[in-house]
Amino acid sequence: MSVRLQDQPWLTSAATRAVFAALETAGGPDCARFVGGSVRNALLGQAVADFDIATTLEPEAAFAAIQTAGLKAVPTGLAHGTVTAVSGHQPYEITTLRRDVTTDGRKATVAFTDDWSEDAARRDFRLNALYADLTGRIYDPTGQGIEDALAGRVIFVGDPVTRIREDYLRILRFFRFYAWYGRDAPDAAAMTACTAEVDGLARLSAERVSTELMKLLNAPDPRRAVQAMAATGVLAQLLPEAVAGIAFQRLCELTTDPVLRLAGLMPVDADGLRALARRLRLSNAVRDRLVAGAEAATAVRPDMDDRTARAAVYRLGARAVEDALIRQRAAMNSDPADDDRLTTLISGWTPPSLPVGGRDLARLGLAPGPDTGRLLKAFEAGWIADDFPVAGHEARLRALLDPTVSPPPG
């Protein structure tokens, strides 16, 4: 199938042409082609964010060519064949054509080659083994990558088990690409291979696993991919606690946030989510958000009144309250009117600062000491319960100092 990319500004930009000119000066015409995601996405009419270039030049020669042309060259991974050129503030990752010599399921020992078919044969899926030159002409060494991309098929290059055993992360990449590009049922041969090789996931680092998982959950609609993961045992291998039921299905309709979707796969259990974050080596920010949302779950409901909602936002933070509410909406299939009301309140209300402090109590005659903190906490509890009144603060403090004095009405 002869296909040419049309109307791609990045193909004709001065920055791109400068990189290709540098490489072709050293390696001759057709020594470099775009490869992978940029070609696939352009073919499908989707946004292109990253630019990977394959070249017949060996890494040191590519690095020298970029420098000689006056462009910034970064030795990203010379030993593995990769350098990065920066042109017009845009990075281009340039990798020498390779073939695998040995693999152990996590990383490969490679040899450089000038054979485009050998390079394509070591890639994961046929829709990713697509190359394009500066004219937009697409090269499809497997003969089926273009058809797969256009039809929404994610199919391994060659034998699926062989590809997976080269790098077990390809199991997760299969489901990730299916989430983003798959249309019909997942490829049967791939599903069988993923099921048979699922134990190999245990050999992967937590960081690689969590990165792929979050990319999958960031897809516009990851539900079918997650269901396929459950069917092959992959989901249970990664997240033994996961429940990809109707609540998760609804949650994916309510939010595109991958962190919240991850939370939706798990029981509402702060300790369990801490353990998950530790196991997957998630960032502290993601861990704290997961835990805060779980802890907020007992304090909020989709049908709570505005006063209760403001108190929850003040004590727990808007993000935690919103996360807990979205999960509960998914679980309870709540009234959309309540959803709209609370969403507007949470986004539009700024929690006030506590209007009194230790100096106010000292001014009323309280000597500094442990009673200061106790009384301020008591004031705060009453102030929150009365929905954050803006006046009467001194009278409330006097009532706390002298129980015989009645506090002002809330």
Tens digits of residue pLDDT in 253-296? 999 999 999 999 999 999 999 999 999 999 999 999 999 999 99
For the segment 368-390, the average pLDDT, to the nearest whole number, is: 94
* Rounded distance between C-alpha atoms, residue 91 and residue 162, angstroms: 32
Annotated domain spans of the chain: 1-151, 159-238, 242-351, 358-401
Task: Give all strands of the β-sheet with 138-139 in edge-to-edge order.
Answer: 72-77, 82-87, 90-96, 52-55, 32-35, 131-132, 138-139
* Rounded distance between C-alpha atoms, residue 71 and residue 66, angstroms: 6
Nearest to residue 112, comparing CAs of 124, 96, 93? 96
Q: Which fold has domain 1-151?
A: Beta Polymerase; domain 2 (3.30.460)
* DSSP letter, residue 391: S
Is a pLDDT exceeding 80 seen at residue 110? no
CATH class of 159-238: mainly alpha
In this prediction, residue 380 carries a pLDDT of 96
For the segment 13-18, the average pLDDT, to the nearest whole number, is: 96
For the segment 368-379, the average pLDDT, to the nearest whole number, is: 93
DSSP 271-290: HHHHHHHHHHT--HHHHHHH
DSSP 185-209: SPPHHHHHHHHHTGGGGGGS-HHHH
What's the burial of 340, exposed, middle or buried (CB within 10 Å: 0-12/13-18/19+)? Answer: exposed
Tens digits of residue pLDDT in 63-96? 999 999 999 999 988 878 899 999 999 999 999 9
In this prediction, residue 410 carries a pLDDT of 58
Is a pLDDT exceeding 70 seen at residue 382? yes
Task: Name the β-bridge partners of 82.
Answer: 77, 95
* Rounded distance between C-alpha atoms, residue 37 and residue 44, angstroms: 10
Is a pLDDT exceeding 80 seen at residue 406? no
* Rounded distance between C-alpha atoms, residue 38 and residue 231, angstroms: 31
In this prediction, residue 79 carries a pLDDT of 79
